[in-house]
Structure 1
Amino acid sequence: MKNNIVYLKPNVVIEPLVEKWYAWAHLISPATAAMNVTRRHLKIIDSYIQAPEIHTIAVKNPKMLGGPFMDFDKKRVDEVKELKEQTKQNQAELIALSESILELEALLKSHDKGMSLEPLYDKVPERLKGYVELIYDLNNNPSFRFFEHFLYSSKYYNTASQSISLWVTQNDERPFCLSTPRLKEDHVLHLDIPFKHEGIDALSKMKRIGNQYDFIKELLGIKEEDESLFKTLFTEEKPPEYQKYTGDKVRMRYFGHACILVETKDVSILVDPLISYYGYDTDVAHFSDIDLPEVIDYILITHNHQDHVLFETLLPLRHKTKNVIVPRTNSGALQDPSLKLMFQNIGFNNVVEVDEMDAVNFEDATITSIPFTGEHSDLNIRAKTCFHVKFGGFSLLFVADSRVMESKIYDHVHQQMGDIDILFLGMECDGAPMTWLYGPLLSDNLPRNKDESRRLSGSDCDKGMSLIDIFNPKEAYVYAMGQEPWVEFISSIKYTNESNPIKQSNELIRKCKQKKMIAERLYGEKELFYDYYKLIEKSEEVSVVDCNLL
């Protein structure tokens, strides 16, 4: 193998990590990373060290899925203790930043409400000076905003904490990503390289385009003691050649969860990439990265949650992606970090921000950003958008997890955009409480009843039908349900036939069919071909699990 042309095996996982924790968006932006280190990671670490038996029991309980429990037995306490010490040492600047943020919030709470904030600038913690502006809302509630760009160029953004793990997978099983760090495993190769490293692009290309083994070994800086494991990631067998789509229709391919590929012979658009690996036996038919085009013209990101911004998929796609379109935010709010800054700082070059109702025009198509409401626990978050994609007279609307809080908003959208042909609607309507995701950012504990009332919920049947009634689609597809097995370690979702999201989406599908519409809850894979308003051809239905049956 040494000097031969080799290919990366199709089922090699390239897992991005930050200080040994699964990388997601709130671990990239320095302010949210600081709060997650101190108020999520270290809390979970301490809890496990104090009572590992409780964690072992909890992860076996289906009702505890997604909870703050490490998926380790008690034999790994010493390793977790070592991780704690490494975290305190390597993340010392972020830990101090977190303490300063809490100190600033306490300062603002003690201020005489309504009086000028200018005298407080001298009292701002030294670590935050020059990085924050003190502000009021119109009701005289004091707060602050970050100059986030400066945080990325400061000591608080430390790429030395970034790394990747590589291994050959045979299944979709992994511990829940927000609560279990990645400790040393004999079959996993850990590389201390930042996410911007050119070796990630070169390695990813080798799934299709072979290269010399010595080249990739040198580029990634493989140590002699790791070479035997590194070699197991490659094969001399050439992968099947990708067949570019050259038809005269619009082709839609569902890759699972909220990931949709829309193609014509001239352009490819990939929405919320979350792609499964392949090369192992599975009962769920699905497309994989081998089914993606050689060039992706546009990646569309709807919002900044870990199941829609997945670096494990995005980093291997970076070398073939021309443009990334993200919702704009410059709020500077702790809970609303900039997606553009994040993507730029992990190596994506052409990142386009869009405001609500902005349009991106190309060839004979248009991508328009439309309002995304709800699903963010009533927090003031701007980095979220739905996408309207139009080819000639044919249109698709990707609503993602938007919860239709006020349908009249979409009446206004309809006045400008008109009817649509295809609607994709997320219906995970029993979302987690706010603190499940945003808890580390809160300075005060939220009472349980309030936390439960502010959930990360998508649309139920009534809210979904309000969109159907407004936009009059010819087809409606429920997606973004987190059902596929390769999404479970991110979403922590397992439905039964009695789960409310299943019942609600079943009812929406029933009502759509009463209206003589095509309607379905997507699962696994789906391929459709469209010619303007006419459905030309539909692929065979894939098998579904029981909870997908009406």
Structure 2
Amino acid sequence: MSNTNKVLYLKPNVAIEALVDRWYAWPHLISPATAAMNIKERHLKIMDSYIKNPKIHMAAVKKPGMLGGPFINYKEARVDEIATLHKKTLEKRANMLEFVDAINELNGILKNEAVGYSLEPLYDKIPELLKGFVELYYDLNNNANFRFFESLIYQSEYYDESSQTVCLQLVEADNSRPFVLSTPRLNDENLLHLEIPFKNTVIDELFKMKREARSYEEIKALLEIKEEHEELFRSFFTEESPTTYKKYTGKGIRTRYFGHACVLLETNEISILVDPVLSYDGYESDVARYTINDLPETIDYVLITHNHQDHILLETLLQLRHTIKNIVVPSSGKGNLQDPDLKLMFNNIGFHNIIELDDMESITLDKCKITGLPFLGEHSDLDVRSKLCYHVSLHNHLKVIFAADSCNIEPTVYERVQKIIGNIDVLFLGMECDGAPLSWLYGPLMPEKLERDKDFSRRLAGCNYDQGKSLIKIFNPKNVFVYAMGLEPWLEFISSLKYTDESRPIVESNKLVSDCNSNLIEAERLFGEKTIEY
């Protein structure tokens, strides 16, 4: 038997990046309307700026304070390649750029002509490209707006799976990948680009090999690897078997922190994974972490708290897709541009096991109940409904709230919730209390640019000390864990956060942890890995 005919494992540090037109994908690049807006108002503008003056971009990416800004992280020598991508984007996505123009035109019509009278005459004025895709409406203050029939757009020419590709690579260090959201993926000798839509099940077959050995020749054929790419592709595999996952067999509950907002709850009967964001192993690091080999072979429920890049990480979810029985997502606003439907998005990229929850709605199982709770703020005061905190009750013994980045701006909401669900045992709370301004995430969707002072007043921020303390007082937990802070070094590629001891989120969370411990509430700001058994 030749070496290549042996059964092999996929190395544990093989990553898959989901790309849309070579840009790192997240849900707003998959939903057609938000994708169109981001292509025109973000991608093309960043590329145009780099083509005109790459030295500005080269200088900016070297400054920690500019991390996460609209700067391409390539040297000047790659200007021609970016120019080629820019040209191809203009040509291949011309229909989507026209779609954006139609959205802007409709916004103008509603602003100028919808003044409280019936909207029926305005249907004739809807731009032709949008007809059949939108409904016009007033809110109760007589402000006019429109909503999409999003499922119809997914069935139209504006959802083009040919824009989707995947990129395979070996992650060699925690910080080996610079910030990815503002730099498209060009060809590189260490990257293998494959023209595969995200829904293709060959992705599942490949990533099963992180635990199950398989014929190298078989997987090579399934992926249609070209001869010139075979040397790189072969480097992704090993004969060395992975660490075996040790199933939890205790009678209680095991909780494991995987970094950022990713937490695994396990009993000997069920596993629940929250906001999956996994690190990699297979290389040396100073920071201990759990990885894919520390997850059960079957995950019963994945809980998604909200639609931000660091909570819906497609490169983790695509690797785990074959292991996940159910994904629980918050229901959306049903057609609002800024709030694309998560169930639709997941369905269209090959996840067919989606459960939507609304506020105070529950999934009740034997010895387990999962309830969606209101999630406040953190979305720059926009009407975004696709966000939930989760209350998980296991064995009637452990009650946990995953509050993620919910900002306790109105404690009365949670006081009312507490009257229904009672006190809890454990609180996971995000305290990134500065947060990026509105335009950093939602700017491409805005019909008019917001003044700088207003933009910076509307933050993507979690709880500060006072808000966190109020939440603790309401739910009276025994344990408090501050998480979702973006502190782990392997998050640099999707997180633009760089903290010092003087950074407000660190100061505020230190104060909260100290206050809890002084009041006999066990508290800790999590980093790296953590196991707690109850």
TM-score (norm 1): 0.95
Q: Does 1:214 align with 2:217?
A: yes
**Matched residue type, 1:87:** T
Structure 1 outlier segments of 4+, above 4 Å: none
Residue 347 of structure 1 is matched in structure 2 by 350
Residue 452 of structure 2 is matched in structure 1 by 448
Q: What is the deviation of 1:172?
A: 2.4
Give the whole-Å Cα distance in 2 for the aligned partners of 1:495 and 1:330: 34
1:364-513 → structure 2 map (5 Å cutoff): 364-391=367-394, 392-513=396-517
Residue 59 of structure 1 is matched in structure 2 by 61
SS in 1 for 2:263: strand
**Matched residue type, 1:110:** N
Q: What is the deviation of 1:241?
A: 2.1
Residue 546 of structure 1 is matched in structure 2 by none
Q: What is the deviation of 1:112?
A: 4.3
Q: Does 1:333 align with 2:322?
A: no
Give the whole-Å Cα distance in 1 for the aligned partners of 2:322 and 2:507: 41
Residue 92 of structure 2 is matched in structure 1 by 90
Q: What is the deviation of 1:237?
A: 1.8
Q: What is the deviation of 1:90?
A: 2.0
Equivalent pair of 2:24/2:184 in contact (CA under 8 Å): yes
Q: Does 1:3 align with 2:9?
A: no
Q: What is the deviation of 1:330?
A: 4.2
Residue 137 of structure 2 is matched in structure 1 by 135
Residue 548 of structure 1 is matched in structure 2 by none
Give the whole-Å Cα distance in 2 for the aligned partners of 1:187 and 1:65: 24
Q: Does 1:516 align with 2:527?
A: no
Residue 273 of structure 2 is matched in structure 1 by 270
Give the whole-Å Cα distance in 1 for the aligned partners of 2:184 and 2:264: 31
Q: Does 1:125 align with 2:133?
A: no
**Matched residue type, 1:258:** A
**Matched residue type, 1:406:** E
Give the whole-Å Cα distance in 1 for the aligned partners of 2:307 and 2:501: 29
What is the identity percentage for the equivalent residue pairs of Structure 1 and Structure 2? 57
Residue 314 of structure 2 is matched in structure 1 by 311
Residue 152 of structure 1 is matched in structure 2 by 154
Residue 77 of structure 2 is matched in structure 1 by 75
Output one character per residue of 1:96-144: Cα deviation in whole Å (capped at 9) or x when no partner: 2111111111111111411111111111111111010011111111110
| Aligned with 1:260 (options 247, 256, 263) | 263
1:281-292 → structure 2 map (5 Å cutoff): 281-292=284-295
Give the whole-Å Cα distance in 2 for the aligned partners of 1:19 and 1:141: 36
Give the whole-Å Cα distance in 1 for the aligned partners of 2:95 and 2:178: 28
Residue 239 of structure 2 is matched in structure 1 by 236
| Aligned with 1:48 (options 26, 30, 50) | 50
Give the whole-Å Cα distance in 2 for the aligned partners of 1:66 and 1:384: 23
- Using a 3 Å threshold, how does the CA distance of structure 1 residues 232 and 112 change in structure 2: closer, same or farther? closer
Unaligned runs of 5+ in 1: 531-550
Give the whole-Å Cα distance in 1 for the aligned partners of 2:390 and 2:208: 29
Output one character per residue of 1:357-401: Cα deviation in whole Å (capped at 9) or x when no partner: 001011201000000000000000100000000011310000000
Give the whole-Å Cα distance in 1 for the aligned partners of 2:309 and 2:220: 31
Q: What is the deviation of 1:52?
A: 0.3
Output one character per residue of 1:316-355: Cα deviation in whole Å (capped at 9) or x when no partner: 1000100000001243100000111111111111100001
Output one character per residue of 1:24-45: Cα deviation in whole Å (capped at 9) or x when no partner: 1100100000000000000000
Give the whole-Å Cα distance in 2 for the aligned partners of 1:461 and 1:437: 25
**Matched residue type, 1:220:** L
Give the whole-Å Cα distance in 2 for the aligned partners of 1:307 and 1:469: 28
Give the whole-Å Cα distance in 2 for the aligned partners of 1:364 and 1:222: 47
Two-structure CA RMSD over aligned residues (Å): 0.9
SS in 1 for 2:87: helix
**Matched residue type, 1:282:** S
**Matched residue type, 2:79:** V
Q: What is the deviation of 1:175?
A: 2.4
Unaligned runs of 5+ in 2: none
| Aligned with 2:227 (options 218, 224, 227) | 224
| Aligned with 2:187 (options 177, 181, 184) | 184
Aligned length: 530
Equivalent pair of 2:114/2:144 in contact (CA under 8 Å): no
Residue 294 of structure 1 is matched in structure 2 by 297
Output one character per residue of 1:468-514: Cα deviation in whole Å (capped at 9) or x when no partner: 00000001000000111111221111100000000000111111112
